[in-house]
Chain A
Amino acid sequence: MKYVDEYRDGKMAKQIAENICQAVDADKVYHFMEFCGGHTHAIFRYGIPDLLPENIKMIHGPGCPVCILPIARIDSAIELAVEHGVILCSYGDMMRVPGSRRRSLLKAKAEGADIRMVYSCSDALTIAKDNPDKQVVFFAIGFETTTPPTALIIQLAEKQQVKNFSVFCNHVLTPSAISTILESPEVRDMGLVPLDGFIGPAHVSTIIGSQPYEYFSQEYQKPVVIAGFEPLDVLQAILMLVQQVNNGTATVENEFTRAVTPNGNEKAKSLVADIFEMRREFEWRGLGLVPYSGLRIKAKYAEFDAEKRFTLTPSKGKDNKACECPKILRGVKTPKDCKLFGTKCTPENPVGSCMVSSEGACAAYYSYGRYQLK
């Protein structure tokens, strides 16, 4: 497959892996966090840990929009479908995420709610046009990458006067989450989570550019290498981070030059700015309330805001106390440190959010990482 196989080449992987082995200082342990679930998935799917020296430790960050969505928001989505009788359109990987009492969209669908899996938010708008007598809500989730399409669809809905369409907005922002991790006492004061550098987001950075990460490298003295989601991208980024640590530098480097520019996609950014504004705070599973980390629909598009159109009951949904997802998402623990991992919590029956999406750290460990070397 052109433009894909080039970035999955085994021979090249071996070469970069050798370069990494030669570059690492044997007396040092390197701790790098890949922020994005897409990177976590690539690391496990292609077996990257087998190619790395033992003194490189990867910490799997909170960059999976499915994993970080709090129970209360899932409860609200279910409420929209069940109590308000809307046609709820959702991306596939949201369908199995458990809300309160382990209820999920999939279970609500089985009970008779009209919940439809869509591949694109434009499908949701089409469904709205095809069902003019029903309210249709798009369950919008995701980081900066999925926000522009949602913005575009709201613009279209207004232009085409699709009155029965609205968006339940759960879009979140990457830089504020990275700040929260770096500001957390475990990282800043207690040193429980040694963090020597970040692999910066791939697709998110195509929108926001590499510039927003400059702050982290300067303020917190952490190197950041923005990398694509292909396995060679990840390996190359690790090599670049090792070199920065060895040289004592902390700059933002861009490995993903084929798609990321310093300023990102101006058109997409202005589209997002037209439709959305910051929420004062937004709850993340694992990180709690994070200031200025989520988006809501601006007042001028209020008619397309499901939170304005429908009265939603505030949910008090709480995570299972034994679930270590919050600590795993902050890099304090690994999936194997959780008592529920692989016993009460499996991909078939997930307790915590990190087990739900294939991009979550627990699911990646469970599905790809349990093999025994012969």
Chain B
Amino acid sequence: MQPEEQRLHPLSILFRLAAQVRTFAVPGVAALVTAGAVGWEWQVWAMPLAIPFALISVVQYFSFRYRYDANEMVIRTGFLFRNERHVPYARIQNLHAVQNVFHRLLNVVEVRVETGGADEPEATMSVLPVSAFEEMRRRVFKEKGEPAPDTAAEPAAADETLLHLPPGELLLCGFIQNRGFVVIAAAFGLLWELGMLESLMESFFGEDVSGRGLLRSIAMALFGQGGLPLEAIALTAAAVVSLLLVSRLISMVWTFFRLYDFRLIRAGKDLRIEYGLLTRVATAISLRRIQTLTIRQGLLYRLFKRAAVRVEMAGDGGEDEEGNSKQREWLAPVIPESELPRLLHAVVPGLDLAAISWRGFHPRAFRRELKGWVLTALLISLPFTLLLKGWVLVLLAALLGWAWMGARLTLAHLGWAVSEDEVLYRSGWLGRQISVVRFNKIQAVTIRESPFDRRAAMASVAVDTAGAGESSHRVDIPYLARETARELSDLLTVQADRTAFRW
């Protein structure tokens, strides 16, 4: 019995065409704006080139078919070069659905089928009718033997909403995360491209107030030539402050649009995340696929009694040599501290941060930590020797005091713990992070001893997991007594070996 094959929504042709027109139009328009009428002729000549693209969209639509077999989804593509891809339901980790404004108006959805095996999704279905997406979701999750999560629109009674961000929280999140600089940088880039930056700067600040002139006059004042340009300093400071405020404001607006109505829902063994005002994103991840969970609390987060929770997931490439397709997802871009235990409990059962007793370090850990801070203090004060002469000692003293405090507090907030099923590591004084790795996600355990470590009979223990990124907060515990390191490593290796690793 051959299950019947299905096609994409006929509107796919339109969306594909639109995407192609956009790739054509954006450089075209940019060329027109920047180069004036020079680009016209080229544009006209390029127009007929769009016709084959239109044909391709039609052919692509007619050659793309998919069907649901007993255990797998089969996707056939290609007109001249045919391709048949089999994706087992059990391997599908994520159905990632994106709906932008036009999609929503037309009641269609763009779906990415992800197994995590590669950087690219296994299949991109652009676009499906919403009903077809619901059917896909039902089939994929039913065949996985897990309770089928309901449609995106209305969570069923069994689903538990772990986090819902009202507009106020979103604005706070935008304020804290401050992504506005990205937008501002982009705007500056555009102005630069269009050659409007200089005239803008001049009209705003005038010749003598611009940055370089100001810096020079400050330097001259410090060397005793001329008074401090107080007025200019005040003006520049005001400009910087207003830029900071504007960037925060942009960030707030951006976050509001992007994460509007953010919901984190637990449906059986899956987590579902939905967000977006104009472009609505719905994604689902298996709980068992979470490799590392990290709780981050920057300075502002702590000021507002909030935290952020992020998880790292692994690729599914069993035979993939690198095996490290990096995937990270915010479980909670912002969450009140009081709500945190409930979320953690749902994601990592049995985890209670309040009950964790953090373990300490080698007695000489403070001295080791202090050395790094003192070295930094010396390096900072060195260039000021010329400028401040004898007064540099005052600066140095202040920096050393800061170093002492920094080392103290950093060490006070450093910690590690081993609970029933997981190993925990926390670090950071101003920006704090806690990472949690379950034993069954540990890939390798490494003890390291640097020459400095060996002088004090210390060692560090690092835990390797799948899916860790360059900038992720990894479990890498420094300043342990050598015996403690040995014991910890043995314990973790035994525990890891006992559990089977499932992607």
Please say whether chains A and B are actual partners in one complex.
no
Chain B positions near chain A (C-beta within 8 angstroms): none
